[in-house]
Structure 1
Amino acid sequence: MKATLILANGAVFTGRSIGSTADRVCEMVFNTSMTGYQEILTDPSYAGQGIVMSYPLIGNYGVNSEDNESDRPWAEALIVRHISPRGSNFRCETDLDSYLKQFDITGIEGVDTRALTRILRNQGTMNGMITCAEHFNIEDCMARIRAYRVEGTVERVTRSAPEVFAPAVDCGKPLRVALMDYGVKRSMIGCLTNRGCEVTVLPAHTSAGEVLAGGFDGVMLSNGPGDPADNVEIIAELKKLYESEIPIFGVCLGHQLLALATGAQTRRMRFGHRGANHPVKDLRTGRSQITSQNHGYVVCADSVDPAVAGISHVNVNEGSVEGLQYKRPKCFTVQFHPEAAPGPKDTKYLFNRFIENMKGGDL
């Protein structure tokens, strides 16, 4: 079946329908990863977005239940150059097209994703629409595209009740971690339980008072979708958590939210960082690592009060803020994803730093 992708700038791409045939309006973003499409689709940080995969062949190893980062895919749409009709892997349980149909994810293949990526890179992230209609009114489509907003996404993806995950290894008495769920990935929980932590995943709007009364050894702030500045109530509670003595480790949206809670500002990037090959320099060691990233907003470097925090990591490509080390003891955050799913494992050491902080150190 024919499918059409329409962008907010008026560009039109024609291809073949994959997945659901429902019309879908969303924010179009591109991801440069060569693998990991299943983890990307099930990452709650993509809520409200359509994903353009810049690598031309997607779906070649199929889909399996073990690699999901959440119970369902959160992406609104998937745009690829070519989708493999079968999965060639011993872990494959179904093909990608069937998976998209199962979860009502609209997709299109046969699109020149290199040209599409160049548009989104040069002109910036923009809204778009995929339709399988043979005949459509372009003006009506453009009106729907212009009206779309990515809003209320944290409320959509967060848990409705606390959930406890037991340690995966025996390290004696476990450290108890409160993990704030702004759109958390399963691999992030696993990075803690695999280090002997008991993890209690809490809904995004859990108050600071509830967290501090829970007897936890540390607090982790998860990744998540949307504009961080929209989360006014969460930011207010994080300010109270920051004023306590509890160790804090923030990732991606959690990094941005704590920065806002301590007086810094964030801004929207032209096209963001999405992929598994972003170089980041650790200013404390002078070493650079390759990281997995997924964000469209960034902390403004000139808004960070040096009396509150220092910039600990920067993006090698364009110098944007990738990490903050706070002056307040046992508190640090990073913009990238150290859990690395998908992506390289260069920065998983940050979980060890968090655990040492909970044990009484200050790394």
Structure 2
Amino acid sequence: MGKRYLILDDGTSFEGVGFGDLSNTTGEIAINTSLNNYQEVITDPAYRNQIITFVQPSIGNIGINPKNYESIMTSAKGIVVSQAENISFSQLKNLSLNNFLKQRQISGITNIDISKLRKHIRDHQVRKASIVSNNDEHAFDQLQAAVLSNQQIQSVATPKPYLVPGKGITIVVIDLGLREGIIRQLSKLDCNIIVMPWNIHFSEIKNLDPQGVVVSSGPGSPDEINSVVIENIQQIQTELPLLGVGLGHELIAMANGVKVKRMSLGNHGSSHPIKKIITNEIIYADQAQDYEIDRTTIDNNKLIVTYVDLINGSIQGIRIRDYPTFSVQFFPEGSNDVEDSLDIFDEFVESIIAHRRLTNE
């Protein structure tokens, strides 16, 4: 480990110590407030092209667990931490966080004053950052000139269909950067799951004869999504129960005439307080959110707001009045024994059963 630097696109520099892969890297910087589950965050496709800054004081202290992946492929560009531990509890006793980052070619930097960095990012709305060996003028010029890819979904979504067998109802999952937690929860309900590429057409979905469709979470801006996804949602919701998560939630909103806008800072973390409007219940859920629904563009005759963020008031869930379609911005599959939102999957299955009953009458 040697001296490394975190440089920001406003010209600020933080000195630290490198670990993991030691190549230079550039990405959008995201502040993650999770106090645990760092492995799930690093392997979440939603962090494609991002440098994740963890506010927890120490990470790496439980090693890497093969059961905690959200995706086998890793998409983050780098991680920034206050203190990194070199501990492994894997069977081979060799997969510490440091070795894991080396394997996945993810750059890390530690010994950073996270409180100072977090405040600076919040106050100056910094977007891009680099982890580099030298904080000279050339490095800053390269950071300023860097253009991050807008082909993010294509980089993380499955290129080919695959099946996760079950004996229950058949559900098509449209993969925009799928978290494995969604598959785990649908499997617990014995669903027969068919995972399809993001650019599948509605006719192909119908040929599979599913009883419901899920549009998954994923990375990037919803404005960069090919119009085929929006068109699919508009057709699916008229015929089948539909659930959207994360990016899928944003696209369902857009497919129903609602605008989505970039947040000034974003929500990234776990155990985030969210209010379920119909019951006034407070739930806690994970988030990886950079965009939000523009409340001023909602037509209340067409759409119902179902969940709101208790910290910043952002809309976290919607339901379409005319169709069995609903969505949530947060991740409903739960983690770290927080299962407040798992009933969303039960609700989805119940909506499928009710829809089948109505259509068979």
Q: TM-score range by the shorter chain?
A: over 0.9
What residue number does 1:149 align with? Answer: 148
What residue identity is the alignment partner of 1:198?
Answer: N
22-31 or 91-100: bigger deviation? 91-100
Of residues 279-288 and 144-153 in structure 1, the stretch that sits farther from structure 2 once superposed is: 144-153
- Mapped to 1, the partners of 2:341 and 2:120 lie a distance apart of 31
> Is residue 211 of structure 1 aligned with residue 210 of structure 2?
no
Per mean C-alpha deviation after superposition, the further-off stretch among 9-18 and 339-348 is 339-348
Aligned: 1:261 with 2:255: yes
1:12 matched residue in structure 2: 13
Q: Which segment is superposed worse, 54-63 or 143-152?
A: 143-152
Per-residue CA distance 1:5-26 (angstroms, 9 max, x = gap): 1001211001111111111010
SS at match of 1:114: helix
Question: What is the SS of the residue equivalent to 1:155?
Answer: helix
Question: Distance in 2 between the 1:130 and 1:306 partners?
Answer: 45
CA distance in 2, matches of 1:307, 1:195: 33
Share of identical aligned residues, percent? 28
CA deviation digits over 1:187-238, x for unaligned, max 9?
1101001111011010000111211221000000100000001113222222
Q: Which residue identity lines up with residue 192 of structure 1 in the other structure?
A: L
In 1, the alpha carbon distance for the partners of 2:57 and 2:272 equals 19
Query: In the superposition, relative to structure 1, how do residues 297 and 146 fare at CA in structure 2: closer, same or farther (>3 Å)?
Result: farther
State the superposition RMSD in angstroms: 1.8
Residue 87 of structure 1 deviates from its aligned partner by: 3.3
How far did residue 251 of structure 1 move? 0.5
AA aligned opposite 1:152: Q
- Aligned partners of 1:184, 1:343: CA distance in 2, in Å? 21
Note the residue ranges of structure 1 that are not aligned, 5 or more in a row.
168-172
- The 5 A counterparts of 1:340-351 are 340-341=334-335, 344-351=338-345
1:235-246 counterparts in 2 under 5 A? Answer: 235-242=230-237, 244-246=238-240
* 8 Å CA contact 2:241, 2:355 repeated in 1: no
CA distance in 2, matches of 1:45, 1:92: 29
Compute the TM-score of the two structures, normalised by the length of structure 1.
0.93
Q: Is the 8 A contact 2:81 2:111 kept in 1?
A: yes
Q: Confirm or deny: 8 A CA contact 2:65 2:90 kept in the other structure.
A: no
Q: CA deviation at 1:84?
A: 0.5
Report the counterpart of residue 277 of structure 1 in structure 2.
Answer: 271
Distance 1:114 1:356 in 2: 45
Aligned pair 1:227/2:226, yes or no? no
Give the whole-Å Cα distance in 2 for the aligned partners of 1:195 and 1:115: 45
Deviations 1:305-346 (A, max 9, x none): 112211111111121110001112321100000112457211
Following superposition of structure 1 onto structure 2, how do residues 120-199 of structure 1 map, counting pairs within 5 Å?
120-133=121-134, 137-167=136-166, 173-199=167-193
Query: How many residues of Structure 1 are paired with residues of Structure 2 in the alignment?
Result: 354
**In 1, are the aligned partners of 2:241 and 2:325 still within 8 Å (CA)?**
yes
What is the match of residue 45 of structure 1?
A: 46
Q: What stretches of structure 1 move > 6 A for 4+ residues in a row? A: 89-92
Aligned to 2:239, the other structure's residue is in SS state: coil
CA distance in structure 1 between the partners assigned to 2:69 and 2:126 by the alignment: 26
Counterpart in the other structure of 1:354: 348
325-334 vs 199-208, greater mean Cα deviation: 325-334
So what's the TM-score if we normalise by structure 2?
0.94
Matched, 1:3 2:4: yes
Contact 1:8 1:146 in 2 (8 A): no
Contact 1:323/1:332 (<8 A) preserved: yes
Helix, strand or coil for the counterpart of 1:188?
helix
Q: Secondary structure at 2:318's aligned position in 1? A: strand
What corresponds to 2:283 in structure 1?
A: 289
Give the aligned residue type for 2:153: V
User: Aligned residue for 2:292?
Assistant: 298
Note the residue ranges of structure 2 that are not aligned, 5 or more in a row.
357-361
Q: 1:337 to 1:204 in 2, by over 3 A?
A: same
| 8 A contact 1:28–1:128 mirrored in 2 | yes
> Is 1:316 equivalent to 2:310 in the alignment?
yes
Please, which moves more after superposition, 233-242 or 96-105?
A: 233-242
What is the aligned partner in structure 2 of residue 170 from structure 1? Answer: none
